Chain A
Amino acid sequence: MRIPRMLIAPILGTFMVTACGAPASSPSADPTAPSERASAAPTASTGTEGGTLVVAISSDPGHLNPAITTSGGTHTASELLYNGLVGLDDALNPVPELAESWEISDDGRTYTFTLRDDVVWHDGEAFTSEDVKFSFEEVLLQFHARTRASMSSSLESIEAPDETTVVFNFAEPYGPLLLQLDVTEAPIVAKHIYEGTDPVEAPANLEPVGTGPFKFVSYTPESEIRFAANDDYFRGRPAIDEVVQRIFPDSGSAVIALETGDVHWLWGVPGPDQERLQADDSIEFLRTNRNPGGANCIMTVGFNLENPILADVDVRTAIAHALDRQAFLERVLFNEGRVAEAPISSGIGWAHAEGLSLPAFDTNASATLLDGAGWIAGSDGTRTAQGVEGVEDGTPLAINFLHFPTFSRYGELLRTQLGEVGIDVELVPLEPPVFAETVFTDRDFDTNIVSYCNGTDPEIGVRRMYDSAQIGPVPFSNAAAYSNPDVDALFTQAVQTIDLEERGELYRQIQEIVAEDLPYFWLVETEATRAYRSNCSGFIAYAQFAEAASCATE
């Protein structure tokens, strides 16, 4: 799959496949500190420098050019090789990376970046502003689906007046830019490598040249990718000499390899295996809501508002009341995540609305609402329509629920819980490409579940769910077919506002409206657990994760 950036899907998926036992009790990693660094920079006491770090990845990336794809597989395997203009720290604050500083004009339409002058590509060529201009114009805005979708309509031009200056000019004020420039959203590739080639078919995609902490050494398809420390890295040579990313298609085998010490770092651990690993002193964990394929994902139930049953907000609210989201967290996610408290993820702190009241788990309230909406329970508990607008009297209250096969445990639990209040649910598992076509092109569904990743800015991954302009065949856009002119206007205003606090207030207003309208119901925020051998330290959970890592001999 261009594991269609449901990066969360492969990770969750493997968990689900193996997760057929009883619910496990809570893993011990502290959920209140989702993305804390494992430890700060490596200290002298961590032992010998150098050595080889073996990393397990779940699938062959196909190629190693993160600028032409949003695929989680490619990004996982290649982000060590590259850099973005700016990085994002754990709290999603922009921090200098290839750009050492930036200025935003008062009207919010012009961003001027000053680049570092000490960066060289892995082949020895100097990195300049021309590389940035080329990367955006010829590669990112053409082929990186998220960057293209979010930026291309508002960006007017990119200028490179001198070697260390890049200027982005927008037609309107543009707020989110700094949150869209990290190595996941906008990796910078070399102009001298890609100029005159078709970036999608360029040979360099298999022999990449980047600026990142590690250099490419070799790529054996379906087997492994080898990297060596970049001696000339602008933030200093990494402590580790060599990184080997090995492909472990089976997550169970990857866990065993971590236990035996053949592998030092796993991107995800199946829920059922976590408890066992917790007991192992030689393994440490790192929780995060950021992944190379997308950040801040919320498992979201979508209602088809064009369906006469679901067009009634009381029915949607009744469904929300009937869902025990804590049970989803415990039984499906093995506590890897948290119950969603707002339409925007808590991972985007400044935009996440605190204290919003979403419908709580209350089957009585649910039943009362359904009665009031004209769905009357018969003696056997099934509900039928009596005087519901657009629905023939006597129609049973039955809806279908479309999901990826990997999300089948969500479906099973939802079906059980809605059955309690007399709603009959038919589960329809569909492979991702078929799901996308059925839901977004054909619009042939009642309800569904999607892992909507909010990204690092609501403009990247939230707007598409609610914007009435995004109803249509684009996958993972506005599945509900929700249309509210006030919300559309607020999103436009938010993107044109530069001040983060003001933007946050606009997003709060949006969340208050959609929490009332309930075109979706937000179940759980998912997190991933990285696991690594405890003789290693200094990792971060995302991007160039091993840049500051080191391993002592075991």
Chain B
Amino acid sequence: MSFRYVRRRLLQVIPSVVGILLVGFLLIELAPGDPVLALAGESGDEAFYADVRARFGLDRPVAERFATYATNVLRGDLGISYVQGRPVVDIIGERIWPTLLLTGVALVLSTVVGIALGAFAATRRRTATDVGIQIATLTIDAAPIFWVGQLAILAFALYLGVLPVQGMSSAVEPDGVLAGILDLGRHLLLPAAVLAIGQIAVVARMARIGFIEELSQDYVRTARAKGLAEHRVVLGHAMRRAVIPVATVIGGRLGHLVSGAVIVEIIFGWPGLGRMLVIAMQTRDMPIIMGMFLVVSFSVIIANFITDLSYGWLDPRIAYR
């Protein structure tokens, strides 16, 4: 992996961002539904609408509005929310951390558990354990996330009463930092597990295939012939190459880190970006929708970039020039 390669990839980001800006802006522009009507609610008069239009510059031609918006974005200004009257950067900034925490934990959970399950199944190929894991992961993969979420709430919150139903913290604030972290953990457990569970299935299936493929390779036979313990063969030798397909899957999903948790956030009342985006779409709060569009697109670009770089690390035979 050379410096030139990294630089070239980074330069490719620029036209992508410009394209994303333009396409996003036009998509929202073409969507039916007037934000001013949404803002005015059930009443108002024409003068009121004209005032609101002028306030947000919506009375200007599309080209002019795009130019203004693009210039502002380059300065790090994503505009003012029509509904909240506050800078979009602030609004997204407040909500991005809970989303990153939730999806980050879910990602770690699904990667570790998924690879472990995959390796476990691959080393017991065509046994009852292998078939059992495969059936279980397929079933979980097919279950809709809102249903799993509701079941989890019913089971753990209503019937067992061990975990909270909603939110990121208790209504009565816990004393002390440690108690606060424990409280956060209790609230995080269910949504992160529900978000991870579908992912675990995908990762486990990809990892199983990867391990099966690698375990039949010559270098594995050599390692076994050397008399290495089986766990060192699997984890020390086969794993790095076996997880390349997993890295591709995870990389593809990394981009959804910010947006993928919408349903889970709504079911569990998690104070992240997902719920905000849904409401912004309903009210045609264009600055927020555009802001989210940019944040999500940008994270997809970055995620793909990191995934590409990780291939070289996982398998040194892959080189970029």
Contact = CB atoms under 8 A, between A and B. Distances in A.
B267 A253 contact: yes
A437 B86 contact: no
A145 B48 contact: yes
B41 interface: yes
Interface in B268-282: 268-272, 275-276, 279, 282
Contacts of A59: 275, 279
B266 A433 contact: no
A434 interface: yes
A224 interface: yes
Contacts of B142: none
A60 B98 CA distance: 15
A253 B38 contact: no
Interface in B257-297: 265-272, 275-276, 279, 282-284
Contacts of B284: 433
Contact of A250 (B168, B267, B282): B267
Interface string B293-304: 000000000000
B153 A253 contact: yes
Interface in A208-249: 220-224, 244, 246-249
Contact of A60 (B80, B169, B279): B279
Interface stretch (B69-77, B113-121, B159-167, B219-227): B159-167
Given A224-B167, A434-B33, A436-B37, A247 B269 contact: yes
A146 B44 CA distance: 6
Contact of A246 (B42, B86, B166, B270): B166
A504 to B, nearest CB: 23
B34 interface: yes
A381 B37 CA distance: 41
B171 A223 contact: no
B194 to A, nearest CB: 12
A438 B33 CA distance: 9
Interface residues of A, number: 63
B169 A223 contact: yes
B158 interface: yes
Interface string B167-186: 11101100000000000000
A262 B172 CA distance: 10
Most B CB contacts (10 A, CB to CB) among A6, A223, A473 go to A223
Interface string A411-442: 00000000000000000000111101110110
B291 to A, nearest CB: 14
B165 A256 contact: yes
Interface in A135-164: 142, 145-146, 148-150
A272 interface: no
B80 A201 contact: yes
Interface string B13-53: 00000000000000000001111011111111110110100
Interface string A280-314: 00000000000000100000000000000000000
B171 A70 contact: no
A253 B166 contact: yes
Contacts of B35: 433
B38 A2 contact: yes
A71 interface: yes
B95 interface: yes
Interface string A196-216: 000011100110000000000
B157 interface: yes
B37 A70 contact: no
Contacts of B94: 221
Contact of B32 (A5, A220, A437): A437
Given A149-B43, A259-B158, A253 B269 contact: yes
A351 to B, nearest CB: 18
B216 interface: no
B268 A437 contact: no
B171 A222 contact: no
A475 interface: yes
B266 A249 contact: yes
B33 A431 contact: yes
A246 B167 contact: yes
Given A145-B48, A437-B33, A257 B279 contact: no
A246 B269 CA distance: 9
Nearest to A6: B42
Given A71-B41, A432-B38, A222 B271 contact: yes
Nearest to B154: A256
B171 A54 contact: yes
B105 interface: no
A300 to B, nearest CB: 13
Contacts of A69: 41
A441 B165 CA distance: 43
Interface string A311-343: 000000000000000000000000000000000
B37 A433 contact: yes
Contacts of B83: 2, 62, 71
A222 B275 CA distance: 8
A379 interface: no
Nearest to A68: B85
A321 to B, nearest CB: 29
Interface in A457-480: 461, 464, 472-476
A436 B38 contact: yes
Interface in A1-50: 1-6
A67 interface: no
A230 B212 CA distance: 68
18 contacts: A2-B38, A2-B283, A6-B41, A60-B275, A69-B41, A70-B41, A145-B43, A149-B44, A222-B276, A223-B98, A246-B171, A256-B165, A259-B158, A433-B37, A433-B283, A436-B37, A437-B34, A453-B42
5 A-B pairs with the lowest CB-CB distances in the bound complex, closest first: A433-B33, A222-B271, A223-B271, A5-B41, A1-B282
Given A1-B38, A257-B165, A475-B44, 17 more contacts: A4-B38, A4-B41, A62-B84, A63-B84, A63-B86, A146-B42, A148-B44, A149-B45, A246-B171, A250-B266, A252-B150, A253-B153, A257-B166, A432-B282, A441-B37, A461-B42, A473-B46
